[in-house]
Amino acid sequence: GNSVTQMEGPVTLSEEAFLTINCTYTATGYPSLFWYVQYPGEGLQLLLKATKADDKGSNKGFEATYRKETTSFHLEKGSVQVSDSAVYFCALILTGGFKTIFGAGTRLFVKA
Amino acid sequence: DTEVTQTPKHLVMGMTNKKSLKCEQHMGHRAMYWYKQKAKKPPELMFVYSYEKLSINESVPSRFSPECPNSSLLNLHLHALQPEDSALYLCASSQVGTGRTEAFFGQGTRLTVV
């Protein structure tokens, strides 16, 4: 079936460290891929997206590249801040579908 | 306007109460969704409306009753809930067509059933 697998957290980093959160997917066809972020006590915000192979999504210093050959969409940021502490969800939507399929989420803590 | 607005933000209700959650968007989206999110878990899809018609019901118990009065509004009517229904309820909207479009989420209603 269609699914998204993320690295387990929590991930704890010091401020200005490099961040990678791994995400791989299983899907039929050519899904669109997303990263959502959820800050404590809030809803989900779309962080970035990519709709076809080799697309790179980027926003607020975060980047992820749609890799069809490895079915991956890893999230990276060169220098994290305390304000980046949140839960990050990798997700996909199948072509023609309505249902967003989420990974389990990865909690990130950034220490000052 | 890229917002999905949910009211109320917090709701405490007894197991015999009837209450409603409300959601509004003005992005011209014709698909609207209800999700349920338990602590430390990803959101789980409950219902999808497309062009104001219910298109997906993920086997949700009948004590949850959705309604889409028009293209901008989505309600979730609650009746005879159980304590295990306590969760964050998220509304979302998206374009309809290719389906390859992202969902925009509201801030959620945190529901506590006592």
> Tell me, what's the pLDDT at B50?
93
> Tell me, what's the pLDDT at B2?
63
* CB pair distance less than 8 Å for A32 and B90: no
Is it the case that residue A61 has pLDDT exceeding 70?
Answer: yes
Query: Judged by CB atoms within 8 Å, which residues 11-70 of A form the interface with B?
Result: 31-32, 34, 36, 42-46, 49, 51
> Tell me, what's the pLDDT at A107?
97
Mean pLDDT, chain A, as a whole number? Answer: 95
pLDDT digits (tens, 9 = 90+) for A15-44: 999 999 999 999 988 899 999 999 998 999
pLDDT digits (tens, 9 = 90+) for B9-21: 999 999 999 999 9
> Tell me, what's the pLDDT at B100?
53
Q: How confident is the model at residue B99 (pLDDT cuts 50, 70, 90)?
A: low
> Tell me, what's the pLDDT at B101?
77
The reply to whether B103 touches chain A by the CB within 8 Å rule is yes
Compute the average pLDDT of residues A37-53.
Answer: 94
Of the candidates B31, B42, B98, the beta carbon closest to that of A103 is on B42
> Tell me, what's the pLDDT at A58?
97
Q: Is the peptide bond before B83 cis (omega within 30 degrees of 0)?
A: no
Is it the case that residue A13 has pLDDT exceeding 90?
Answer: yes
What gap in Å lies between CA A77 and CA A18, rounded to an integer? 6
Is it the case that residue A5 has pLDDT exceeding 70?
Answer: yes
- A105 contacts in chain B (CB < 8 Å): 40-42
Q: What's the sign of the alpha-carbon dihedral A82, A83, A88, A91? A: negative
Mean pLDDT, chain B, as a whole number? Answer: 93
How is chain B split among helix, strand and coil, in percent rounded to 5?
A: 5, 55, 40
pLDDT digits (tens, 9 = 90+) for B21-52: 999 999 999 999 999 999 999 999 999 999 99
Of the candidates A43, A98, A103, the beta carbon closest to that of B90 is on A43
Compute the average pLDDT of residues A69-84.
Answer: 97
- B48 contacts in chain A (CB < 8 Å): 98-99
* CB pair distance less than 8 Å for A104 and B56: no
Compute the average pLDDT of residues B52-60.
Answer: 95
Query: To the nearest whole percent, how much of chain A has pLDDT over 90?
Result: 86
> Tell me, what's the pLDDT at A94?
86
Is it the case that residue A70 has pLDDT exceeding 80?
Answer: yes
